[in-house]
């Protein structure tokens, strides 16, 4: 039996049109893996690459299955050429997992998300390294649309059997947005036209944007703390009763005080405070330091030999911001970065049919589905929950 995973990539891979690129196979755990050359999806052809990960883009799972199918034929464009040859703009990664059988019970998920994305990431890493293409970023499972089709060994469709899945659809669950309401707009407008964020704030914002690149994001978060404590100590030393010559000599030594020493011993001498006073922030700094050091010296961010997960990385970045805020609270108010208390959050709601305007996407999908477009874009309120994420569909 075959479990065919189709993953919608968040970037395009131009492929020379007309060249035959053969799939390659290898064994991985209990599976025989076949990785196909990247394909052009129906989505890319009929919607011109519309972002299916948008949370307001609520499609019937059957529509997602269609949009994540390979376009037939693969359509080349003369506008993007490789070695003076037209190219096909591909956005779909297709991987076959072959095994004796798969658990297709309604609550099952085999192969697992982790197994699917481990194989997909491995392929993209090899493609990235072979082509020296730093543009490619790692896939974020929670931010990716993908499907799984269970097929016979010859690639034909399985016969329908009650209680067994034939197709699983998985919608993206993670989005990155700037939420804007009146308070956020007024906060933005209150900053002067010549406002430039501090180096530590810029580093923190960049760190926040980097995941799922965990290691680089944690390095930026650590450097944000490092730069802020260094500049804050310099400013505090100017107003504290510190011997100027001794201070300049200490900071000009070949080995400057470590960030840990700056946040504790030096800060205690200059400002009568130490980060150790806050157990949570001190513990988070130690974890951030360990993760940063293991990534810089060993190539993988880890804490006490345990690789840092995406959720842990995001929490450490948030705590790095809290440490920077703690440092800035020791400075005069005029020298602190702007901080606004904005109570924005985003929630996703099932829409009633009267609240759903599907005319635009229907007009697009009619290119593919004809008069069945209305059926393909049923309002989400008419769908069963298990069809939206990881559930069975025909």
> Does a structural domain hold residue 331?
yes
The Cα–Cα gap between 140 and 121 comes to 10
| Top mean-pLDDT range of 4-18, 254-268, 375-389 | 4-18
Per the model's pLDDT, the better-predicted residue between 392 and 306 turns out to be 306
Co-location of 326 and 264 in the same domain: yes
The Cα–Cα gap between 105 and 97 comes to 17
Total of domains in the chain = 2
Helix/strand/coil (H/E/C) assignment for every residue in 361-375: HHHHHHHHHHHHHHH
Co-location of 187 and 310 in the same domain: yes
Co-location of 80 and 117 in the same domain: yes
Cβ-contact 320, 288 below 8 angstroms: yes
Token pair listed for 318: 């948030």
Query: For residue 159, is the peptide bond before it cis, meaning its omega torsion is within 30 degrees of 0?
Result: no
Q: What percentage of the chain exceeds 90 in pLDDT?
A: 39
Containing H/E element for 232? helix 214-239
Co-location of 37 and 157 in the same domain: yes
Mean pLDDT within 133-139: 71
Co-location of 170 and 211 in the same domain: no
Last residue of a domain, one of 335, 364, 380: 335
Co-location of 274 and 365 in the same domain: no
- DSSP 8-state assignment for residue 257: P
Backbone phi and psi for residue 285, each to the nearest 5 degrees, phi listed first: -65, -40
> Does a structural domain hold residue 70?
yes
Co-location of 324 and 352 in the same domain: no
- DSSP-based three-state secondary structure for 25: strand
Cβ-contact 317, 221 below 8 angstroms: yes
The Cα–Cα gap between 123 and 138 comes to 11
> Does a structural domain hold residue 105?
yes
What is the residue range of 38's domain?
Answer: 2-177+348-392
Q: 9-23, 325-339, 348-362 — which is least confidently predicted?
A: 348-362
Q: Quick one: pLDDT at residue 354?
A: 36
Check pLDDT > 50 for residue 146: yes
> Does a structural domain hold residue 165?
yes
Q: Quick one: pLDDT at residue 196?
A: 86
Cβ-contact 217, 317 below 8 angstroms: yes
> Does a structural domain hold residue 342?
no
Q: 30-39, 143-152, 381-390 — which is least confidently predicted?
A: 381-390
> Does a structural domain hold residue 343?
no
The DSSP bridge partners found for residue 307 are: 302
Model confidence pTM above 0.95: no
Co-location of 191 and 168 in the same domain: no
> Does a structural domain hold residue 341?
no
Token pair listed for 65: 């299955």
- DSSP-based three-state secondary structure for 92: strand
Q: Cα 388 vs. chain centroid, distance in angstroms? A: 20
Co-location of 55 and 195 in the same domain: no
Co-location of 301 and 373 in the same domain: no
| Top mean-pLDDT range of 3-7, 21-25, 61-65, 236-240 | 3-7
Q: How many residues does the chain have?
A: 394
Spatial CB neighbours of 58, under 8 Å, sequence gap ≥ 6? 351, 356, 379, 380
Half-sphere exposure (Cβ direction) of 142: Cα atoms closer than 13 Å? 8
> Does a structural domain hold residue 240?
yes
Co-location of 216 and 238 in the same domain: yes
Q: Quick one: pLDDT at residue 349?
A: 47
| Residue where the block lists tokens 């205690």 | 268
Cβ-contact 147, 167 below 8 angstroms: yes
Co-location of 128 and 204 in the same domain: no
- Residue 280, domain CATH: 1.20.120
């Amino acid at each position: 039996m075959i479990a065919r995973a189709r993953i919608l990539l968040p970037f395009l891979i131009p492929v020379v049109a007309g060249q035959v690129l053969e799939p390659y196979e290898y064994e991985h755990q209990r599976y025989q893996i076949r990785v196909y050359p990247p394909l052009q999806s129906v989505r890319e052809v009929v919607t011109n690459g519309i972002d299916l990960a948008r949370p307001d883009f609520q499609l019937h799972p059957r529509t997602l299955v269609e949009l994540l199918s390979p376009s037939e034929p693969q359509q080349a464009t003369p506008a993007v050429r490789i070695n003076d040859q037209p190219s096909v703009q591909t956005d779909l990664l297709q991987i076959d997992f072959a095994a004796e059988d798969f658990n297709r019970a309604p609550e099952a998920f085999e192969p697992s998300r982790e197994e699917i994305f481990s194989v997909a990431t491995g392929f993209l890493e090899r493609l990235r390294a072979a082509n020296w293409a730093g543009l490619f970023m790692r896939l974020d499972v929670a931010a990716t649309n993908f499907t799984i089709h269970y097929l016979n060994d010859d690639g034909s469709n399985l016969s329908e059997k009650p209680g067994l899945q034939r197709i699983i659809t998985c919608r993206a669950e993670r989005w990155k947005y700037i939420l804007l309401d009146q308070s956020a707009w007024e906060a933005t407008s209150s900053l002067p036209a010549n406002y430039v964020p501090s180096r530590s704030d810029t580093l923190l914002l960049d760190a926040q944007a980097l995941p799922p690149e965990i290691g680089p994001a944690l390095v930026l978060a650590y450097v944000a703390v490092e730069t802020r404590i260094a500049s804050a100590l310099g400013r505090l030393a100017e107003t504290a009763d510190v011997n100027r010559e001794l201070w300049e000599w200490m900071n000009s030594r070949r080995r400057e005080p470590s960030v840990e020493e700056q946040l504790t011993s030096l800060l205690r001498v200059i400002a009568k405070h130490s980060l150790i006073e806050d157990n949570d922030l001190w513990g988070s700094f130690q974890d951030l330091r360990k993760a940063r050091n293991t990534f810089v010296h060993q190539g993988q961010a880890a804490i006490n030999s345990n690789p840092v997960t995406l959720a842990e990385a995001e929490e450490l970045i948030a705590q790095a911001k809290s440490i920077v805020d703690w440092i800035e609270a020791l400075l005069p108010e005029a020298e602190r970065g702007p901080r606004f208390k904005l109570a924005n959050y985003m929630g996703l709601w099932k829409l009633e049919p009267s609240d759903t305007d599907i005319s635009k996407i229907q007009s697009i999908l009619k290119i593919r589905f004809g008069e069945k477009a209305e059926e393909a874009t049923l309002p989400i309120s008419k769908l069963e929950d298990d069809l939206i994420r990881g559930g069975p569909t025909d």
